[in-house]
Amino acid sequence: MSEDLERKTTPWFTGGFDWEGVAAALALLLVALLLGWLWDPLFWVGFAAMISALLAARWSNRTAPDLADGIIAPCDGIVVSVTRTDAPGELRMSGAETTRIRISSSPASTNRLYAPIAGSLESLITEEGENSTPIAMRPDADGLAVSYLMFESRTQQVGVRIATGGLGPRQEIEVETGDILRLGRVFGKRRLGGWCDIYVPASVGQLIWPGQTLIGGETVLGRLRSDTDEEDFDVSGEAGELPLGAIEDDTFDEDDYPEPDEADTPDDPAVLLARLKEATKNKPED
């Protein structure tokens, strides 16, 4: 990877625009010019629509971390809250307690969505939005375009709820139920920002906090734990108690050590006392 970066003349150029978005922006620019010819203020209306089309088409290449059991952010945004709650029924997750990580994305965020874990897509439900709701001001507002995806890896489940405004083609899911995805693979697009709720097992250690900025496809949220793993961390990320008997198992019995050889320990008090008595007997009387 480092050699490839050295060969690139512009390693900082890792983003771009979807071609359909660029075409839409050019068409809106032409409309803006025509409106401006009719009345000058109307030009700015068309110009704002052109900027919106470019923002909706913006994407960026991301490099996922090398973690087989990692959980990463599926989109760009800011962490709004981290709370214990039950997952919505649409995600079809098991009855285990979950932690919800709520992320808010601005309209200027990149549009790609990334697989939060390496595993299979077990469930997918999409709901069409309403044109009367162009912006997702609240995560649970009526009329939003919403997608529910549930990923599974080694019996561990992670649910993702994607929500955005209902006006226009705002969401595009490019995977189907049963597909196997590697960590960080692009599975769809969400245009002009919105909300993303990630439901992870409550046993996952918290590696993020409210107010933190996330980079989709790269920022690590936590790590999956199998049923056989020791619960060394709770959901707040603090160290837990050691398992019962952990200290006893690591304690050595004094019988494990061999008795020292007297020949190897000339400074032993018993040996010195014996030598002193022998010297006293051999000493001539005054």
| CA distance to 78, 88, 101, 149, 203, per residue, from 94 (Å) | 27, 11, 18, 14, 14
Whether the CB-CB separation of 222 and 71 falls below 8 Å is answered with yes
Q: Mind giving me the DSSP string for 92-154?
A: ---SS-EEEEEEEE-TTS--EEE-SSSEEEEEEEEE---TT--S--STT-TT-EEEEEEEEET
Query: Once rounded to an integer, what is the mean pLDDT over residues 175-179?
Result: 95
Give pLDDT, residue 260. Answer: 47
pLDDT tier for residue 15 given thresholds of 50, 70 and 90: confident
Q: At 49, which amino acid appears?
A: A
Query: Once rounded to an integer, what is the mean pLDDT over residues 88-106?
Result: 92
Cβ-Cβ contacts under 8 Å for 272 (sequence gap 6 or more) = none
pLDDT tier for residue 6 given thresholds of 50, 70 and 90: low
Domains belonging to the chain, first-starting first, are 2-56 (no CATH), 64-223 (2.70.70)
**Mean pLDDT, all residues of the chain:** 83
If one compares 150 and 10, the residue with the highest pLDDT of the two is: 150
Give pLDDT, residue 154. Answer: 86
Query: Once rounded to an integer, what is the mean pLDDT over residues 130-146?
Result: 93
Per-residue model confidence as pLDDT tens digits over 106-124: 999 999 999 999 999 999 9
Give pLDDT, residue 204. Answer: 86
Q: Mind giving me the DSSP string for 189-238?
A: EE-S-EEEEEEEETTSPP---TT-EE-TTT-EEEE---TTS---B-TTS-
Give pLDDT, residue 96. Answer: 76
Dihedral sign computed on CA atoms, order 141, 199, 79, 63: negative
Whether the CB-CB separation of 143 and 134 falls below 8 Å is answered with no
- pTM score of the predicted model: 0.76
Give pLDDT, residue 205. Answer: 79
Give pLDDT, residue 206. Answer: 76
Give pLDDT, residue 68. Answer: 86
